[in-house]
Amino acid sequence: MIKLHGVNNRDSNWDALNAITTRLANKDSSIWGEAAQAEASIRLDWVDLPEVSRDLLPVLDALSAWSREMGHRNFILCGMGGSSLAPEVIAAHYKRSLIILDSTQPDQVNDALKSKLSESCIIVASKSGSTIETASQKALFQEALVSAGLDPRNHMVIVTDPDSPLHQSALNNGLKVVTANPKVGGRFSALSAFGLTPAALIGIDVSVLLDDAYEAAKRFTEPDSVVVAFAALLARPDFAFAKFYDRNSSFPGLADWIEQLIAESTGKDGRGVLPVVLTSQPSPESNAITFNENDPLSVVGNLGAQFIFWEWVTALLCYLLKVDPFNQPNVAESKDRTGKILANWSNDLGRPVLESETLAIYSEKSLDSLESYLAGAGSSNYLSIMAYLNRNTSQEVIQLRDLLESYLKISTTFGWGPRFLHSTGQFHKGGPLVGSFIQITTATEVKIPIPGAGYGFERLVLAQALGDFEAIKMRQLPVMRIHLKNERAGIAELLAVAKNLKN
């Protein structure tokens, strides 16, 4: 069950949404208009997941028993976007250990490789089966297992859509496979095989998630239901940049999952709502959305209910914004640019416009100091900081978000690259073109070849940053890349300069 606190301003959008909730429950693909109907017709099975995912329970019970028999103690999930964000929330909520590898940053990849492989279960999750990050990680772990004298069949589990390239290769290699419902999009897949398989393997009773989601969803078609009220709230102009804070709740990471769901679903056709995930306690006047009933504006309910609630809210919000909730037309753009950069790789990456002992700045602007670049970063309606760093060891860089937001007085987001490319990356290029952007890349001494690729993770992660840089730049949006020659020292310099900015 979901309860709302601080939502009581009824408007005309409530009536418009009341008229379609039953249609959504019945999976009516015409809700979002003729142009969206073809995609919607093959993307609405998430509505039934609280019921139909019960068919997975015997499969997951058997898989968990196999894992225990194999003696798995370490669980590593290789996946991006919807394939990793929900499992990370589930694991954190239940305080279970799950290593999330949602990066191509070599140091972070290397951290995962340090796990004792003989006691590890590597879960490789990709809906399409062709995601470059996940395909590269799978190849790496499969080679590492063989090099260690281990049989991948005893240590790998594949989660993918039926007949995907990943499905076919897994069958050919005799790997354990759980197939997901192909009529569920990645960011709506929390209660599908993508969310439930890793959860079951780390010892969570996933039937509880399904039970809670089912009970909550039964009320969504009632007049003025919680999903109607909250979708109408988010459609208001003052929630164009919607703040979320989860650190005072039992759902760490839920705001990041919501960020992907809303940003990638709504951010297109020049429209959208951009979630801003806060890392510091918001003031009572901030209108921040939390998950604590003692706060002014909050959504309170257990985790399964939260998942289905936000999926419904997002679908209804897209109806009000007149966008297709299930496509992501601009995500492939950065992927294509990355592929071209890799195919035509050059070590000449241009000349920095400013350089110090610890960092170098690449920009079309020519200014005289790092302070000038940071102070001028907020020339648009919002700022996005995109850090292609090891999030296991670079958490302090997130402080840059608060520091620059405080100085620039504009909404500021922070995303780990390349993870955000499967999340807010769609909004950056498909939503309102009113953002400015700071990329942060880093030098690394860790070189990890990707089996069969002809290049390593250090080249792949930089190509992903450069590809997205090009995609942003071609829209004539302000973007700079700050390259850290030494990650620790570079972060320290960034934070020191940001702290000294004067209003």
Structural domains in the chain, sorted by start: 3-28+223-321 (3.40.50.10490), 49-209 (3.40.50.10490), 331-499 (3.40.50.10490)
Residue 503: what pLDDT?
60
- What's the pLDDT tens digit per position in 97-152? 999 999 999 999 999 999 999 999 999 999 988 889 999 999 999 999 999 999 99
Would you say residue 284 has pLDDT above 90?
A: no
CB 126 within 8 A of CB 83: yes
Percent over 70 (pLDDT), the chain: 100
Would you say residue 231 has pLDDT above 70?
A: yes
Rounded to whole angstroms, the Cα distance separating 158 from 125 reads 6
Residue 222: what pLDDT?
97
Would you say residue 2 has pLDDT above 70?
A: yes
Quick one: average pLDDT of 311-316?
A: 98
- What's the pLDDT tens digit per position in 409-449? 999 999 999 999 999 999 999 999 999 999 999 999 999 99
Residues 6+ away with beta carbon under 8 Å from 283: none
Would you say residue 457 has pLDDT above 90?
A: yes
Which one-letter amino acid corresponds to residue 164?
S
Rounded to whole angstroms, the Cα distance separating 434 from 423 reads 17
Residue 433: what pLDDT?
97
The tokens for 341 are 């950069």
Rounded to whole angstroms, the Cα distance separating 380 from 411 reads 10
Rounded to whole angstroms, the Cα distance separating 301 from 309 reads 9
Quick one: average pLDDT of 468-495?
A: 96
Would you say residue 367 has pLDDT above 80?
A: yes
Residue 161: what pLDDT?
96
Q: Helices (DSSP H) in 267-353: which residue ranges? A: 303-321, 331-343
Rounded to whole angstroms, the Cα distance separating 43 from 38 reads 9
Would you say residue 183 has pLDDT above 80?
A: yes
**128: helix, strand or coil:** coil
Residue 324: what pLDDT?
97
Q: Which of 452, 443, 457 is nearest to 485 (CA)?
A: 443
Rounded to whole angstroms, the Cα distance separating 353 from 346 reads 19
Average pLDDT over the chain reads: 96
Residue 234: what pLDDT?
98
Rounded to whole angstroms, the Cα distance separating 304 from 192 reads 12
pTM: 0.97
**121: helix, strand or coil:** strand
Residues 6+ away with beta carbon under 8 Å from 14: 224, 228, 229, 232
